[in-house]
Structure 1
């Protein structure tokens, strides 16, 4: 793979990370305007099915998935469904900054699960990184933990767990399936899951509600679609370890934009704890990059 291709992938990956991060505050504005997280995810999935289906057909002329890759693609779809539903829904109950801090423990969950899933060794360095992130979370949540809505905390942690599962499924699914086709099936699987969540919570709003909240909904969906397409393209051009590093910009974008559009203000304690979590995430990516470079 050429250096130019890798540079292009990193640039697209950074754009995807910033757009992913920026779309979360607008999801909260949409929820406050009556367009709940499950509702937005439900309608958003239709747009992505059409877009990725067209891209997939243009690439290979078929959207079929060979039998060996069907289970990983199914797992990817289910995991992605819970990531979208839980993370976007969590910000209706807790501040975006806290939701972001909790969600971004998923790289550490991957770190701990890798020995069980992929047979990798759980080293002292990995344990130290996990401990640093845990301390950061304790500091960030602190005495306010009991004052936060448990539903938001649970949803953010469920999203983090689903994101870790998404990572393992994606690594397997994209070995034999074009990213656009994998993305098509992922979003198609997401539609009934999102519909069930809407019906279970009684929050399946009509398209009129989306129109009433057109500005935040439009910004959220537009940013997400741009991020998703850039992410798929970047994944084809850039090694996962390098791409993971630029995605550390995503939580920073979420928190900084939340302070501007939502007037949320993190306390010094929350900033300190969140910084430790971010340092732990970056350290884990750097460690894995170095390990892969040595073994290559």
Structure 2
């Protein structure tokens, strides 16, 4: 549970660091390219210093690369596409349907029990998300809604596939190959679209380093080990802490407004997470 909460906290800093990178002159594809390149280098260095079995047979490698590109990389792109067409808070709200996707897929494919505790906790945490992020108001672009929902589905599939592969792979091995597959994919997209540029300031550089070290290496490591200990469905419920953490960090770092009702939403998420843990 602590590892899952640590992953949520690390990923909660993602939106803040991304905003700082963009404000410093870095564009989206350049930021993603450098983020995953630096993360891949850090994972390979860790394997050199603390050796593990990193060689994979061809079927496993193909499956891992397909999961990384079709799951994680596609999820990130869909979510950023959603941000372009609907408000970020609304996109995140639709995206966080993915814990429900994970719970259903885990029950179907991983034989994780679908308990009342999980369903109740999921309901509480989603109500908390509604309070923190606000109810969608006005007309919304269907393209943004579709992209956010597809991102939720992609992230759910990625977590289930990752959980399955981690039964046979050491977490660092999985994350090393996953980031190694994702980095060149984003580089190729940036280069072919003419969006790769190193014309950014030190603030953007620091933000990209935070994205690589905290939001990728630390977060992905905590997610992988968390999956091993508590399974996909329970980890997905605990991950709903992430928007609450992002809201608090936005207040502390960027000076964004923090309304009292958002604190209530955070409390509901904490209650839901704690309740499902105690019942489990």
Shorter-chain TM-score bucket reads 0.7 to 0.9
Aligned equivalent of 1:204, options 167, 177, 195: 195
Alignment partner for residue 144 of structure 1, among 115, 137, 150? 137
* TM score, norm. by length of structure 1: 0.70
Runs of at least 5 residues in structure 1 that lack an aligned partner in the other structure = 1-8, 291-296
Using the alignment, how far apart are the partners of 1:264 and 1:235 within structure 2? 31
Q: In 2, Cα distance between the equivalents of 1:253 and 1:182?
A: 27
Q: Which residue in 2 is equivalent to 1:186?
A: 178
- Looking at structure 2, the residues matched to 145 and 273 of structure 1 have their Cα atoms a distance apart, in angstroms, of 22
**In the TM superposition, what whole-angstrom CA distance separates every residue of 1:186-205 from its partner, at most 9, and x where no partner exists?**
112213432455467x4623
Alpha-carbon distance in structure 1 between the residues aligned to 2:155 and 2:274: 17
Distance 1:251 1:47 in 2: 25
Superposition deviation, residue 96 in structure 1: 5.3
Judge conservation of contact 2:86–2:144 (CA < 8 Å) in 1.
yes
Residue 162 (1) aligns with residue 138 (2): no
The reply to whether residue 17 of structure 1 matches residue 8 of structure 2 is yes
Aligned to 1:102: 94
Aligned runs of 1:20-35 on 2, under 5 Å?
20-35=11-26
Which digits, 9 at most, give the CA deviation of each residue in 1:114-161, with x for residues without a partner?
343335565666656656666666665435252x66665544433322
CA contact (8 A) 1:94 1:149 kept: yes
Cα offset, 1:21, TM superposition:
0.8
What is the Cα deviation at residue 183 of structure 1?
1.0
Check conservation: 2:175, 2:221, Cα contact below 8 A. Answer: no
Alpha carbons 2:64, 2:174 under 8 Å: kept: no
Q: Aligned in 2, Cα 1:280/1:187: closer, same or farther, shift over 3 Å?
A: same
1:95–1:134 Cα change, 3 Å: same
The equivalent residue for 1:53 is: 44
The whole-number CA distance in structure 2 between the counterparts of 1:107 and 1:263 is 29
Deviations 1:260-284 (A, max 9, x none): 3344336667766676566556655
Q: How far 1:51 moved relative to its partner? A: 2.0
| Residues 65 and 177, structure 1, Cα contact 8 Å, conserved in 2 | no
Q: Alpha-carbon deviation of 1:258?
A: 1.6
Size of the aligned set, in residue pairs, is 277
Tell me how far 1:232 sits from its aligned partner.
6.2
- Distance 1:191-1:179 versus aligned 2 partners, 3 A rule: same
RMSD: 4.1
Equivalent pair of 1:136/1:277 in contact (CA under 8 Å): yes
- Aligned mates of 1:152, 1:261 — CA distance in 2: 27
Instruction: Give the drift of 1:256.
Output: 0.8
Structure 2 partner of 1:224: 215
Contact 1:77 1:190 in 2 (8 A): yes
Alignment TM-score, normalising by the size of structure 2: 0.73
Contact 1:69 1:176 in 2 (8 A): no
Aligned equivalents of 1:153, 1:263: Cα separation in 2: 28
Whole-Å separation in 1 of the counterparts to 2:122 and 2:138: 20
Question: How far apart, in 2, do the equivalents of 1:178 and 1:84 lie?
Answer: 24
Q: Distance in 1 between matches of 2:79 and 2:128?
A: 20
Q: Distance in 1 between matches of 2:184 and 2:205?
A: 24
Checking the alignment, whether the CA contact within 8 Å between 1:235 and 1:243 is kept in structure 2 is: yes
- For the structure 1 residues 178 and 121, does the alpha-carbon distance in structure 2 shift closer, same or farther, using more than 3 Å as the test? closer
